Amino acid sequence: MLISDSTARALENVAAREREVLRTLPAGNSTPGDPYAAQIPCQAPQGAYFITRDDSGRRLFMRCSGFSLDGVQLTDANGHPVLGYTNPEGALQPLRVDPVDAALGLAQNARVGSDGTVTYDRSAIDPSTGDRTFQHQTIGRVALARFPAGTRLSDDSYAAAPAGIAPHIGVPGDGGFAPLQPLSRTAVNGELDSGLARLQEAYLALDALRAAGAAQGNVQKTVMDLLK
């Protein structure tokens, strides 16, 4: 079946708006009573991207609006690892919880600071009093990437670097990148509501094109019936 250019563009618009909504959804591993409890809402500065990688190790760039700590490593809402630095001179890598803490499920209350520093609370029991205590642990700093002006990435949730173009990579607040701006739950909800409104508009535009096409088809059929 042939599809007109206007219908094809409308379908592409719907797909793009759907991707926008998916990027604003809360993390899938949140706790049952509170869909945002396990999420760490934050967003990259204007023009910057967070970094992840696929199964082959290829770096991908994303504009997500929230992280979570899955007990082992920092991930985005879809479970992809968030890359960063465990020390200033180290290599870019997933930010992981201490292996012992991960194995025992002791990592709680993860946070990402404005400078990209990722911390969590290690739960422990004071042997002398039996009271539960928490020790702050740091696992590294989230990395950011920025491309030269005029570089266009795909509209997909995870975009590869264009051929022949290398991004500048650093950390929030290092002079090359602005600090992260943590999002409140109100801001996350507002972003989701706005995305859903744009998606509804895209579907309405597509429905209007379909209705116009159906009406045109009915007119043509009526004309053909009259000519018989």
> Over the chain, what is the mean pLDDT?
79
Q: Is the pLDDT of residue 77 over 70?
A: yes
The predicted-structure confidence for 35-53, as pLDDT tens digits, reads as follows 333 478 778 888 999 999 9
The predicted-structure confidence for 121-161, as pLDDT tens digits, reads as follows 888 887 888 787 888 899 999 999 999 998 988 877 889 99
H/E/C letters for each residue in the chain? CCCCHHHHHHHHHHHHHHHHHHHHCCCCCCECCECCCCEEEEECCCCEEEEEECCCCCEEEECCCEEEECCCEEEECCCCECEEECCCCCCCEECECCHHHHHHCCEEEEEECCCCEEEEEEEEECCCCCCEEEEEEEEEEECEEECCCCCCCCCCCCECCCCCCCCEEECCCCCCCCCCEECCHHHHHHHHHHHHHHHHHHHHHHHHHHHHHHHHHHHHHHHHHHHC
Give backbone dihedrals phi and psi of 214, rounded to 5 degrees, phi first: -65, -40
Choose between 200 and 49: higher pLDDT: 49
Whose structure tokens read 């404005």? 114
For the chain, the residue count is: 228
pLDDT band at 94 (very low <50, low <70, confident <90, very high): very high
- State mean pLDDT over 18-22: 61
The predicted-structure confidence for 152-196, as pLDDT tens digits, reads as follows 888 778 899 999 999 999 999 998 999 987 665 544 555 556 667
The angle at the Cα of 92, spanning 88 to 98, to the nearest 5 degrees, equals 80
- State mean pLDDT over 20-41: 48
pTM for the model: 0.64
The angle at the Cα of 170, spanning 167 to 176, to the nearest 5 degrees, equals 90
pLDDT of residue 28: 38
Choose between 62 and 198: higher pLDDT: 62
Q: Is the pLDDT of residue 54 over 70?
A: yes
